[in-house]
């Protein structure tokens, strides 16, 4: 598609300014999406039409889905998601966004007992290796969370790590939940994360210099395969099918600095 031919809309619920679309922005534009951020700390979500955008992206943030009494906008986001998911409309959740999708679908989200922070590769399930996630096979991705989730009913389990069994799930071809941060561009670095999450890093007993070094190592491999993952997922929204041509719908505390990049090529 001509990148100048914008025929679709992507609305983005953002919880902190420095956690943005990152590497996802270019594939969205290249697949004809006009991007519109909704910053939850300033926007009136009562004006948000859940069925308005072709694609809804819900980004991460340093709060828990179970804290809606402290952060009332979370309840509004869950209602937005409830209406979209009931109509099987394309929706992507990253970290907190994935947890909000899981909650909306009836799964439990809860503290895992550790902070999984740093770069490390995923272990893909059989379903994950047949999905767009195969582009990330063997690549380190950024993990930054303390909560985890149960798989939502009717979802497909796609990826895991040693520290977190539920790293990615899908529902049909239209919903994707990522516990990790494939959108983060290691070439540009994560300095804003190191500053914005300084208290969390210190509380977990981690050293920002180690995280900075990990990120520089990952950035040397390039980001092409991360973008390929997003591009394929966006393209299959139009067809409703995976690369194999089959529908993807199924019926059925302390900090840990991850080991960092393994062998990979961008």
Which among 229, 164, 146, 216 is positioned nearest to 185, based on CA atoms? 216
Q: What are the beta bridge partners of residue 252?
A: none
Tokens 């071809």, residue? 173
The whole domain housing 157 covers: 8-257
Greatest CA separation for the chain: 48
In a domain, 263, yes or no: no
One digit per residue, the tens of pLDDT, for the chain of length 266 reads 555 577 899 999 999 999 999 999 999 999 999 999 999 999 999 999 999 999 999 999 999 999 999 999 999 999 999 999 999 999 999 999 999 999 999 999 999 999 999 999 999 999 999 999 999 999 999 999 999 999 999 999 999 999 999 999 999 999 999 999 999 999 999 999 999 999 999 999 999 999 999 999 999 888 999 999 999 999 999 776 554 444 443 333 344 445 544 333 33
And the tokens for 148?
């985890």
- Whether the CB-CB separation of 118 and 261 falls below 8 Å is answered with no
In a domain, 264, yes or no: no
In a domain, 158, yes or no: yes
In a domain, 266, yes or no: no
In a domain, 42, yes or no: yes
In a domain, 3, yes or no: no
Tokens 């069994």, residue? 165
pTM metric for this prediction: 0.90
Domain count, the chain: 1
In this prediction, residue 27 carries a pLDDT of 97
In a domain, 140, yes or no: yes
- Beta carbons within 8 Å of 65's beta carbon, 6+ residues apart: 74, 78, 96, 99, 100, 103, 109, 147
Distance CA 176, CA 158 (A): 10
In this prediction, residue 222 carries a pLDDT of 84
Can you state the angle between helices 73-86 and 96-104, rounded to 10 degrees? 60
Which CATH number covers residue 104? 3.40.50.880
In a domain, 180, yes or no: yes
């Amino acid at each position: 598609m001509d990148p100048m031919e914008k025929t679709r809309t992507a609305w983005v619920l953002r919880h902190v300014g420095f956690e943005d679309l990152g590497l996802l922005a270019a594939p969205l534009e290249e697949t004809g999406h006009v991007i519109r951020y909704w910053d939850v700390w300033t926007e009136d979500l009562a004006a948000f039409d859940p069925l308005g955008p072709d694609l809804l992206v819900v980004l991460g943030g340093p709060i828990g889905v179970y804290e809606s009494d402290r952060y009332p906008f979370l309840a509004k986001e869950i209602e937005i998601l409830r209406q979209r998911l009931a109509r099987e409309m394309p929706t992507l959740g990253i970290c907190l966004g994935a947890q909000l999708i899981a909650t909306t679908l009836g799964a439990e989200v809860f503290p895992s007992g550790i902070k999984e922070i740093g770069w490390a590769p995923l272990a893909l399930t059989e379903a994950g290796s047949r999905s767009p996630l195969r582009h990330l096979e063997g690549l380190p991705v950024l993990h930054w969370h303390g909560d985890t989730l149960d798989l939502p009913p009717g979802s497909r389990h796609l990826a895991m790590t040693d520290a977190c069994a539920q790293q990615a799930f899908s529902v049909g071809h239209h919903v994707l939940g990522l516990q990790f941060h494939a959108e983060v561009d290691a070439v540009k670095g994560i300095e804003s994360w190191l500053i914005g999450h300084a208290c969390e890093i210190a509380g977990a007993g981690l050293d920002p210099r180690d995280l900075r070094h990990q990120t520089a190592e990952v950035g040397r491999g390039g980001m092409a395969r991360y973008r390929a993952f997003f591009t394929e997922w966006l393209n299959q929204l139009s067809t409703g099918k995976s690369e194999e041509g089959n529908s993807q719908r199924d019926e059925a505390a302390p900090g840990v600095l991850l080991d960092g990049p393994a062998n990979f090529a961008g």
